[in-house]
Amino acid sequence: MYKHVVITGGAGFVGSNLVHEMAKRFPEADLTVVDDFRSGYFKNLEGFKGDVIAGDLAQIDLKHYFGGGRKVDLVFHLASITDTTDHNQFRQTHDNVESWRNILNYFEGRKTRLVYASSAATYGIAAGVNKVDQDPKPANVYAFSKVQLDNLARRWARENPSQIVVGLRYFNVYGPREAHKGAASSMILQLAQQIRRGQPPRIFKHGEQIRDFVYVKDIVNCTILAAKARKSGIYNAGSGVPRSFNDIVANLNRVLNTQWQPEYIDNPHAHYQPHTEADLTETTRALRYTPKFTLEKGIDDYAASGFLV
């Protein structure tokens, strides 16, 4: 189906999982990864046989690599500064937005399909079910930059009705190949690491806050399905079933064969979200996406992979 696919951010967490799955599903496709390795990790691409371009997407000359009649069928744009604690407004906004602008400008009129990673962070700190038609309320500059990606995508789609561009608002993704993110990795991995070190898992009082935790294999499947969309749009990408931090600890105890009780600590964040949940109505309708991993199945698969350490 695809002759040449470009995956930006392919050395990162979700990106590398996407790279390996694309290689598995489309073994004849020519896959090119573009990554500046600021938030990626070379070991995530172990076994990858395609091309790797190390470059800053905000500055890179895309014509140099993809010109000369070399057609690109599909671009998955996952490259981003993903550290939400990086509050440098210029760096976050410039790097994230200008990288996307560079891609949109270059592939305009080339019939290349574009799928990009937006974020549930665009919804801000409002609690409850998140629907794609909500007004964005970014609470940090990372989320603000993702709102700008969505704005650019909508305008580009209006100006290029014959091309497809799809944005996916990823929720709380967890799974293999995230350990390099350190403190920015999922709470599922961080709590598992605490247990492995012989420490009680530390969560905010009293662990009943709920999040839309979504396993990376579901996110990868949703991302691949988005490439087949019949029209441009922006969709939620989550599990649709929020679960509590107490549920996480219980399931980690189960797969790690431990019996740790959580250490409940005070929450220092005045605007901490008690509830996030992806409304998947439009995602299911437009992309035919149905999550396959419950929290239990996701943690089971994560533990079986050998990466939950």
pLDDT digits (tens, 9 = 90+) for 179-200: 999 999 999 999 999 999 999 9
Tell me if residue 142 is catalytic.
Answer: yes
CATH numbers and ranges of domains, the chain: 4-171+214-238+278-291 (3.40.50.720), 174-211+242-276+296-305 (3.90.25.10)
Among residues 106, 116, 123, 142, the one annotated as catalytic is 142
Instruction: State residue 61's pLDDT score.
Output: 96
Instruction: State residue 82's pLDDT score.
Output: 79
Specify the pTM.
0.96
From residue 261, alpha-carbon distances to 46, 136, 245, 274, 284 in Å are: 37, 37, 12, 21, 37
**pLDDT tens-digit profile of 81-103?**
877 777 889 999 999 999 999 99
Instruction: State residue 86's pLDDT score.
Output: 79
- Token pair listed for 14: 């979700």
Instruction: State residue 54's pLDDT score.
Output: 97
Please state, for a pLDDT cut of 90, what percent of the chain lies above it. 90
Instruction: State residue 283's pLDDT score.
Output: 98
| Residues in the chain where the model's pLDDT stays below 50 | none
- Token pair listed for 62: 């895309």
Using CA of residue 158, residue 159, residue 164, residue 165, what is the dihedral sign?
Answer: negative
Tell me if residue 215 is catalytic.
Answer: no
Are the C-beta atoms of residues 144 and 90 closer than 8 Å to each other? no
DSSP 275: B
Among residues 116, 146, 170, 181, the one annotated as catalytic is 181
Cα–Cα distance for residue pair 246/253, rounded to 1 Å:
11
Q: Which residues of 219-255 are buried (b: 16+ CB within 10 A; e: fewer)?
A: bbbbbbbbbebeebbbbbbbbbebbbbbbbbbbbbeb
From residue 256, alpha-carbon distances to 20, 206, 215 in Å are: 27, 22, 18
